[in-house]
Each structure stands twice: as structure tokens, then as C-alpha cells.
Amino acid sequence: MTATLHHGPDRSTLRFERRLRHAPERVWRAITDPDELRAWFPADVVYEPRAGGSMQFDFGGMHGQDVWPGEVLAFDPPRVFAFLWGTDELRFELTGDGAATTLVFTHTFVHEPGKPARDAAGWESCWESFDALLAGRDTLDRADMSRWAHHHEAYLAMFGDLTVETDDTWRRIRLQGPPHELDGRTAINVTVGEEADAGVLVVREAGAELAGGAEVEVLAGSVDEPGGVVLAGVLHDPLA
């Protein structure tokens, strides 16, 4: 695994440092050209290439996501490209020495339970397609969740599992996507326990954020087709 996590009281940062056998100009094109981004980045990107320029990220409905807004924070070819990704900040910094480039990528965000492992695994999957693009190979399907699941397991081993504490037991909870809204409450698809039963984790209090210490319920089914309550208790986040 290549990510390190810097976990602060207000915001956390995932950091990837990668040594690439390609000139900075080639790497810069891969991280800034919308056609090349389409081969490896999680969404289609439209933007104005200047600091302060507007951005748009189109997921095409993948994983229940449609369009996110953004803003270019820095655009300094071929050294720095930084932008808002919704409310998160993504930053690419390139340094080169001839035919090789060191790429440092950081993803800074307000902490949410499960987000570090989920997003680190997502970027690992993206880097696999990124490397294929630079090598001239066929890139991988960004909708293929099997690669993400493999990386997710490894990052959970590093960062820890979420659990729900009931009156007499603890049950492991693993997030399977981004947060949604269900009847005014924060909800997210999950698997439960060693059997990895499908369910949907719901924060009991309407309008409350998903956070360590929150009272939650796990419903059968999914966000799209929720069923009855199968588990209720307090959510524990190992990074909280």
C-alpha cells in the first residue's frame, strides 16, 4: 500500500508519493488533460485551466453520484495542479530530473468514519489505471469494484474497522459507498459482520452527520431498497 494518513483534529490528509519513469511533461498531461483523466480519474472532468477557474466532475450516476462542483486552486504547469473536489482538496505536485518524475498527491478532507480506508483504496485503483495509461496499455474499468475491494481490505488492516456496539456485542461494519440521505437521515450501504451481510447504516437523528459515537441502526437491504432494523447501537470509529 502506498498511502500514508496524517490524521488531524479538524482535517485529515492521505498522501501518496510515486516515482515514475516518465518526464514531468508527460505526467502533467496525464493529470490535466480531460481526455487522459477520463482513462483513470473517478469522474469526467471539465475545468478552466487557471487558478480560480470553475470545475465540474461528472460521475454519470456511478455509485449513486451524479455531478460535483469544484474550483481550481493552483495551476502551474508542469509543477502543481490543485483543486476542490466537492469540499475536499486534491493536490498534485511534480518534480522531475530528466526522464523521471516524482509525483506527490495529497487528498485533504474533513474526517468521516470509514473515509480514509475507502478513499485510499479508491485512489489505489485509480493509480493502477494511471500506470497503464502512462505505459500505453489498456486502462482498467473504473466501475470494477473488485480491485477497490482488494485494496480496501488492506487499508482497513492499517486504519481499523468501524464497529457498532449493541447491548451485548460488537459487530464489524464496512462501508460500501458514499453517504446518501434516507428520509432526512444520513445513510450508507454497508456489510455487517464476518459474513458480510448487506445492509444500510442509518444515523438515528435526522440531519446528523455520520460520526463516531453516533447512535445508529442497520437496516436490511440497501439505500435504494431498505428493509427492517437488524441491528441498533453506537458507532465506534478507531480514528475518532
Confidence check: pLDDT of 102 > 80:
yes
pLDDT at 144: 66
pLDDT at 194: 87
- Cell reading at 133: 495509461
pLDDT at 153: 92
SS3 223: coil
Q: How confident is the model at residue 237 (pLDDT cuts 50, 70, 90)?
A: very high
- Report the predicted TM-score, pTM, of the whole model to 2 decimal places: 0.89
What is the per-residue pLDDT across 41-79, written as a single tens digit (0 to 9) for each?
Answer: 999 999 999 999 999 999 875 555 678 899 999 999 999
Distance, CA of 33 to CA of 39 (rounded, Å): 10
What is the per-residue pLDDT across 143-197, written as a single tens digit (0 to 9) for each?
Answer: 666 788 889 999 999 999 999 998 888 999 998 888 889 999 999 999 998 888 9
List the one residue out of 135, 129, 142 whose CA is nearest residue 26: 135
% the chain with pLDDT above 70: 95
Q: What is each CA distance from 28 to 24, 104, 131, 223, 236, in whole angstroms?
A: 6, 12, 13, 38, 40
Which residue ranges form the domains of the chain, and what is each CATH number? 3-156 (3.30.530.20), 161-236 (no CATH)
